Amino acid sequence: MFTSESVSEGHPDKVCDRISDEVVDAYFRFGPDYGWNPKDLRVACETMATTNKVVIAGETRGPKEITRDLIAHIARLAIKDIGYEQEGFHWESADISVVLHGQSMHIAQGVDEKDNKDVGAGDQGIMFGYACSETPDLMPAPLYYAHNILRLLSEARRAKEGDARLLGPDAKSQVTVRYVDGKPVGATQIVVSTQHIDPNLSSSQVRAIVEPYVKKALPEGWIGKDCVWHVNPTGAFVIGGPDGDAGLTGRKIIVDTYGGAAPHGGGAFSGKDPTKVDRSAAYAARHLAKNVVAAGLAERCTIQVSYAIGVADPLSVYVDTHGTGKVEEDRLEKILPEIASLKPSRLRERLGLNRPIYARTAAYGHFGRAPQADGGFSWERTDLIDELKRAF
């Protein structure tokens, strides 16, 4: 048995992730309009939210036209889009404080481009990428289907579809998957806790609303008669979002990645521009791991890369195919960086990361998503398969 959880875009921490990523997108969206090269823009934005209060802090570098008032307005629009029009947290009445300031020149000197040389990493650290053959998008099954449940509920709520219109933005899901010989075969436990705007709804009534979406989210035959359900197990869930629990950027890193099925280096993604290798190198590592599995070289693949601040070349590249590999891991460690450079500036260019593509990553995971026409989720492309097959 293995379990993973997901949280919706209305979860307090995800509200903060969304706002922080909207700030990143704002700099990439408006910066070029005011003559800034996207390579020179910097954002490290943290958000805290509680009852009708939002604080946006951190460091930025970009056009002066991106004012605190504009950032506060962007935050309000994000809160509105999520669906918060509640007494304790409302997009119109929330008190939003913006205390962003300039990036430290001592950090900037390590990542600014000079004399066309490869620039260094924005910080030291370790990053992991992972892929497996359990689902069509090469993600671990428990997390993949936990995300699916909440995504379908969110779509139904936004569309005011049937009784789903009675649900609120804040929700969590959890799926326990049974494995036989290393293959996922079914769900044994399903947990869904969702906010509801009608205070008179009982747990059984909420289950009647969510059950069709849960069944649609999981593969046919996965929910048997022995599967145990827990829907709003504590009872009423009316007070939700930041009014019910304070939120912070970067507090759901396992939900964002692989649901605990793979290691995590510790760094969060949201609110960071791609010079921060916490984000960009984790994307690059996922890109490589996914292509290894998609090329049929392994059924599971974990990749670790490490960096030092201001140093361009990774300090190490580690590959583990968990006994499922058809090629030698030490050869993968040598060939992967040759096929797709892991130098920070090179991987940013290859994946097209200097764009306003980040707000959509803030909920339902940064991985296992379809690549978008505008360059979003470029790290999910399987465009290295032919080169990998040729190399081996």
Catalytic residue numbers read 11, 13-14, 46, 59, 172, 237, 245-246, 251-252, 272, 276, 278
- As to burial, measured by CB atoms within 10 angstroms (0-12 exposed, 13-18 middle, 19+ buried), residue 6 is buried
Q: How far apart are CA 136 and CA 179, in angstroms?
A: 17
Q: How far apart are CA 17 and CA 271, in angstroms?
A: 7
Instruction: Report which of 305, 2, 332 is spatially closest to residue 134, judged by C-alpha positions.
Output: 2
Answer whether 278's CB lies under 8 Å from 123's CB.
yes
Angle between the 344-351 and 277-294 helix axes, to the nearest 10 degrees?
A: 60
For residue 64, what are its two tokens? 């002066």
Taken in order 283, 152, 251, 322, is the CA torsion positive or negative? negative
- As to burial, measured by CB atoms within 10 angstroms (0-12 exposed, 13-18 middle, 19+ buried), residue 120 is buried
